C-alpha cells in the first residue's frame, strides 16, 4: 500500500483528535477575531490550500455572513504593491508554512496592524512565526507528496473556526458526525473501482458547485498530480458558459454532489452530458442518484451540505489513488514535484 493511501486512512482518527483537542485554541482565536471587529477575511494560499480557501469563501459567507477574499500574493512580492487590507482578518493556509509569498501576505497584514492567523501543520514554520495567531493542524508528518490528511484537516479547522465565531448547536452536532462519516467513506474504497475505467486518461472534467466547488478543484488536482490525467474543474454555472463546448462522446466527467440547494443543478448537467454520450461518474453524499447503475459511489453521511466536502474529498482521494494504480503511476512520487514548493 502507498503512503498516500496510508495517510488517507488516517483521516477519521485525525478528525476525532481535532474535535477533541482544538476547541480551546479555536475559541481563543474566534474571540480575538470578534474583538478586532473584522468585516471580512483575506486568505493567502497555494495549491491544495488554495482549495481550502475556496471552501472558506462559501463556508464563512453562508454561516458567518463574512466576505472572503482570496489574496493575490504576487501583489505583495513580485509587484511590490500590496493593497490596503483595512478591516480584514488575514489568514495564511499552508501545510508546510514555508511558502515565502504566503508569509509575505501575513507580514504585510501585520505591518498594517491587522489580526493575522496561520493555519499550518508546522508550529515552527515561517508562516506560524509570522502570524499573531496559529491554528495547528496536528496531522503529523505527511510523507506522501500529494496533500491528503493536511488538506482535510485544513477544511475541518476552518469549519471549527466558523462554528466558534457563530455557535450553532445543530452545526456543532454535525461536526461530531464527521469522524464516523469519514470512516464510512473509507469503506467505499473498493466500490470506487467501478469508476476507474472512465478516468484512465488522458483528460477529464470534474464538476461541482457551491461548497463542493472546492472539492471538484481538489479532486482534479489529485487526478493530475498522481495519475497525470489532465483534469480540470469547473462550477457547473461556469461550465455551461463556454467550456461545455469541449465535450464529445466518451468524454469523462466526474460529478461531485453533496446535496443541498445546488443538487438539482448538478444532476441537470449530469443528465445533459450523459445525453451527449459523455462517461459521467458520480461521487455523492446525501444526494439523489439519477445516474446509471455502476457509475456512482454514494454515501448518506447525515452531514449538512456545508460539511460534505470532507467526505467527498476523501472519496476523491481514494478514487485518485485507484486511478494511479490502474495507470501504473506512483502516487507517492509524482514526477517533477516536491513535497514543499516555495514560490515568491
- Residue pair 131/92 in contact by the 8 Å Cβ criterion: yes
pLDDT confidence tier of residue 165, bands split at 50, 70 and 90? very high
Sheet with 40-44, strands from edge to edge, namely 67-70, 40-44, 88-94, 116-120, 133-136
Task: Evaluate if residue 326 carries a pLDDT over 60.
Answer: yes
Rounded to an integer, the average pLDDT of 249-264 is 96
Q: Phi, psi at residue 327, to the nearest 5°?
A: -90, -5
Q: What percentage of the chain has pLDDT greater than the value 90?
A: 92
Q: Phi, psi at residue 281, to the nearest 5°?
A: -115, 150
Place of cell 476547541: 23
Rounded CA-CA distance 276/283 in Å is 20
Domains of the chain in sequence order: 3-175 (3.40.50.10490), 181-327 (3.40.50.10490)
Please, where are the H alpha helices in the chain?
A: 3-9, 11-21, 23-35, 47-64, 100-111, 126-130, 149-165, 169-176, 178-186, 213-227, 236-239, 263-275, 308-327
* Digit-coded pLDDT (tens) for 187-244: 999 999 999 999 998 999 999 999 999 999 999 999 999 999 999 999 999 999 999 9
Q: With 0.75 as the threshold, say if the pTM is over it.
A: yes
> Residue 87: CB partners within 8 Å, gap ≥ 6?
37, 38, 39, 40
The CA-CA-CA angle for residues 309, 135, 53, to 5°, reads 40
Beta bridge partners of 62: none
Rounded to an integer, the average pLDDT of 96-108 is 96
Task: Evaluate if residue 272 carries a pLDDT over 70.
Answer: yes
3-state secondary structure at position 228: coil
The burial of 99, by beta-carbon neighbours within 10 Å (0-12 exposed, 13-18 middle, 19 or more buried), is given as buried
pLDDT number for residue 55: 98
Task: Evaluate if residue 340 carries a pLDDT over 60.
Answer: no
As a whole number of Å, the end-to-end CA separation of the chain is: 35
Burial 328-338 (b: 16+ CB within 10 A, else e): ebebbebeeee
Residues belonging to the chain: 344
3-state secondary structure at position 122: coil
pLDDT number for residue 291: 73
3-state secondary structure at position 207: strand
Q: Phi, psi at residue 133, to the nearest 5°?
A: -120, 150
Amino acid at each position: 500500500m502507498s503512503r498516500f493511501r496510508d495517510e488517507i486512512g488516517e483521516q477519521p482518527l485525525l478528525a476525532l483528535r481535532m474535535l477533541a483537542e482544538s476547541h480551546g485554541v479555536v475559541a481563543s482565536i474566534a474571540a480575538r477575531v470578534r474583538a478586532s471587529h473584522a468585516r471580512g477575511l483575506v486568505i493567502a494560499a497555494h495549491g491544495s490550500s488554495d482549495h481550502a480557501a475556496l471552501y472558506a469563501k462559501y463556508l464563512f459567507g453562508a454561516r458567518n455572513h463574512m466576505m472572503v477574499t482570496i489574496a493575490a500574493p504576487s501583489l505583495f512580492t513580485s509587484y511590490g504593491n500590496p493593497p490596503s487590507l483595512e478591516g480584514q482578518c488575514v489568514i495564511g493556509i499552508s501545510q508546510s508554512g514555508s511558502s515565502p509569498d504566503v508569509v509575505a501576505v501575513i507580514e504585510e497584514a501585520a505591518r498594517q496592524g491587522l489580526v493575522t492567523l496561520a493555519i499550518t501543520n508546522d508550529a515552527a514554520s515561517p508562516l506560524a512565526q509570522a502570524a499573531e495567531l496559529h491554528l495547528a493542524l496536528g496531522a503529523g508528518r505527511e510523507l506522501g507528496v500529494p496533500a491528503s490528511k493536511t488538506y482535510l484537516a485544513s477544511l475541518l479547522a476552518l469549519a471549527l473556526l466558523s462554528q466558534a465565531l457563530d455557535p450553532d448547536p445543530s452545526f456543532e452536532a454535525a461536526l461530531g458526525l464527521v469522524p464516523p462519516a469519514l470512516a464510512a467513506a473509507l469503506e467505499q474504497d473498493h466500490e470506487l473501482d467501478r469508476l476507474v475505467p472512465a478516468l484512465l486518461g488522458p483528460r477529464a472534467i470534474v464538476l461541482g458547485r457551491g461548497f463542493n466547488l472546492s472539492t471538484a478543484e481538489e479532486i482534479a488536482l489529485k487526478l493530475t498530480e498522481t495519475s497525470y490525467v489532465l483534469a480540470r474543474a469547473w462550477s457547473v454555472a461556469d461550465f455551461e458558459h463556454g467550456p461545455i463546448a469541449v465535450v464529445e462522446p466518451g468524454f469523462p466527467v466526474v460529478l461531485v454532489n453533496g446535496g443541498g440547494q445546488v443538487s438539482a443543478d448538478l444532476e441537470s448537467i449530469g443528465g445533459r452530458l450523459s445525453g451527449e454520450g459523455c462517461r459521467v461518474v458520480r461521487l455523492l453524499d446525501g444526494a439523489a442518484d439519477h445516474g446509471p447503475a455502476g457509475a456512482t459511489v454514494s454515501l448518506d453521511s447525515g452531514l449538512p451540505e456545508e460539511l460534505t466536502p470532507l467526505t467527498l474529498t476523501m472519496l476523491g482521494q481514494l478514487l485518485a489513488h485507484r486511478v494511479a494504480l490502474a495507470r501504473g503511476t506512483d502516487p507517492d512520487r509524482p514526477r517533477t514535484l516536491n513535497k514543499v514548493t516555495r514560490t515568491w
